[in-house]
Structure formats: structure tokens, C-alpha cells
Amino acid sequence: MATTGENWYELGFVDDYKGVNLREIKIDNKLTIALSYHNGKFGAISNTCNHVGGPLGKGSLDDDGDYIICPWHNWKFHRVTGLGEPGFEDDRVPQYRLKIENNKLYIDLNPVTTRHKKPHPPHLLSRDNTRKDGPIRIVGISTTVMDKAYPRYSTSEKLLKIALDHAKTELKCETMLIKLNELHFRSCEGYYSKSAKACTWPCSITQMDSSDQLDKVYEALVHWADVILVSTPIRWGAASSLYYKMAERLNCIQNQITIRNKILIKNKVASFIITGGQDNVQDVAGHMLGFFAELGFLFPPFPYIAHSRGWSAEDMENNMTDVENSSDLKDAAKDLVRRCKEMAEILVVTDLFKRKVVLSGRKARKIELGKKK
């Protein structure tokens, strides 16, 4: 594990390094180290985290000052030995020797130890997502927010249930209903703002926090479903806050296209049910269509149904009876899911993701659709 030979390099005056407890130092564009100083002792380890390469020197020291906490997803490495935290000592980043002579700090560029990555079992969500045989599978995602103990009537969820029921009983599909309101999940914490590579698939939060329940949505979208049907109320002219909380967490799916040319959503259909509020159906639909298109979803003819009674309808309690009594809306919900199913059937036998396309984006580079990475 130790390397031989010495190759000392002068970093500069010791006093210049005492004022900061952790910093990143690039040496001749060849090596970058995380240099720490705590309780009168320096430490130097590789700057590159074992997880997905986060810059350890830009992290922070833990409360005891012993471990560097990676700034990307909080993995810890001993600031002097480079060993992972207790229980993860096998996860090791290289350690570098330091010495002080004539008030100057030197580093031996030959590491004392080599990097070792403890094998971590891959997250279940990262498995291959080739479609499994079977009937068309439809997941409904209700994004309405309500009191869990005493749920009120939801017009959007009502129409979603009608669509799913029709899909199951008449169209012989497999169906699943996910109510976001019943899941405990964290908001996106913007790891991509630290670095594009810090946003991972599965989501960084999903990998770190086993109590986070958005894995159910990821599983349905990426692996299980051929069709997703998202329902939302209109709140202040926009989709529900839970819808946006989910959408932000789906960044990790879109970012795979941006940073890895990896498309997780292929040959899948999305459609929407939008109700309530007094106005702005087309704007809400436009946002949803635009977002799900960016993930790779395809749309059936007329991909959403909606209901709103207009700007002057202040008597919102009547929205419920309006929807409840409307055979028109119920028929529309059934026909929406029928269109989705028929499109999904086409996509089961017609792979639209086997040719190269050019996507505009940060670098307007070619994306090889369908190519496994």
C-alpha cells in the first residue's frame, strides 16, 4: 500500500498556511491536494473524493476537526490518513507526507498510501431499465396537497382515479396510483449547483437518505411504467407546490442527458389532468409539457384534459360539484388514458430512440440516443 521514494516539494512558509483549516492546493497542474490544519497539525490527502470526484479541499472539517466532509455529498475522509470514517476505512484516498524545515512546509509528492474504493453495491434504481414484457403499465401521480387525516375532495385526483379505473377495468392495463401527499421526500438541494457531476442518478438524496420516499416515483417513471398520468390543481396560476417539489427532484433524470448522454426515459408516454383555480390552464399545461418533453417523454394526441370555471368564478366550492356532475369530464379522462394506452402500444414495438439526434444545449453536441453508457 505504501509507495517508495521521496519527492519533496516546497509549499511555502508555514505561517501562510495556518490561517485556514482546509484548502485545495494545485501543485504544478499535476496534483491537487486537500491541505488541512487543526490543533497545530497539518494534514495532506488527495483532493479527489472516492464517490464521484468531489473536491475535498473545498469541503469542511467535522466538529472534532479529524475528518474532511466532502462538499458534494458529505462522505468523510480522515484529514491526515485519508481513511474513510469508522466503518468505511476501506474507502481510502491517498495520504501525503508533510515536513517543516526552516519554517517552510514541504510535501512529498509520492503518496504514502494508494487510493482504495470500497465496493458499494449499486443502488437498485441504477439497474438496466429495459422494458419487461406484460400489459401496458400506467402510473397516475396525484400532486394535490391536502390534510392527510381528513382528505378533502380533489377534482384533479378524482379525474385521475376515473382514468386509472378505466385503464384497469376496460383497457386491461396494469395501474398504480402514487399520491405525492403520502410520500415523505426532501426538496432538491441543488447539488448540480456545486458541479454538474454532483447531480447523480439515482438522485444524490436517494442514495444518501434511505428514508426519502421519492424512490417510488423514480422506480415508476424510469422502470415500471409505460404511461404516466400526472394530475394537478391550479394554484395561483401554476401547478401545485408538490408538483414542483417532485419536478425539481427529477433534475437527476434530465441531468443524465446533459452530463452523460444517458437517456433514462425512452418510449414512454406522459399526459396531464389539470383542474381548479380560476384561470391559466394553458400556461400550466405548457410548463408540464415542456418539462416532461425534456425528460424524454412522448405525448399522445391532445395530451391533457383540463377544467377551470374562469377568472370571475369566486365560488370555488362549486368546482367540486361541477366536476362531480360532469359526464363530459369523466369521458374525457377515460379517453385521455385510451389515447395514452394506444400510443404506448405503438412504442412497445417501435423504438424511437435508436437513432442519433442532435440536441441543442450547453454544447449543442450529438447525443447518441439508445446507446448504453
Q: Which residues contact 297 (CB under 8 A, 6 or more apart)?
A: 228, 265, 268, 269, 270
The least distance separating ligand FES from the CB of residue 222, rounded to whole angstroms, comes to 21
Nearer to ligand FES among residue 155 and residue 206 (C-beta): 206
Nearer to ligand FES among residue 158 and residue 249 (C-beta): 249
The least distance separating ligand FES from the CB of residue 58, rounded to whole angstroms, comes to 10
The least distance separating ligand FES from the CB of residue 75, rounded to whole angstroms, comes to 4
Binding site for ligand FES (CB under 6 A): 49, 51-54, 70, 72-75
The least distance separating ligand FES from the CB of residue 53, rounded to whole angstroms, comes to 6
- The DSSP call for residue 5 is S
Nearer to ligand FES among residue 91 and residue 226 (C-beta): 91
The least distance separating ligand FES from the CB of residue 97, rounded to whole angstroms, comes to 24
The least distance separating ligand FES from the CB of residue 52, rounded to whole angstroms, comes to 4
How buried is 301 (Cβ within 10 angstroms: 0-12 exposed, 13-18 middle, 19+ buried)? exposed
Nearest to 305, CA basis, from 270, 332, 283, 342: 332
Nearer to ligand FES among residue 74 and residue 110 (C-beta): 74
Nearer to ligand FES among residue 51 and residue 268 (C-beta): 51
User: What cell was used for 143?
Assistant: 400532486
Q: Which residues contact 206 (CB under 8 A, 6 or more apart)?
A: 123, 125, 212, 214, 215, 218
Nearer to ligand FES among residue 84 and residue 303 (C-beta): 84
User: What cell was used for 354?
Assistant: 435508436
* Helical H segments across the chain, by residue range: 155-169, 204-208, 215-218, 241-249, 251-260, 281-295, 317-324, 327-349
User: Do residues 261 and 369 make contact, with C-beta atoms less than 8 angstroms apart?
Assistant: no
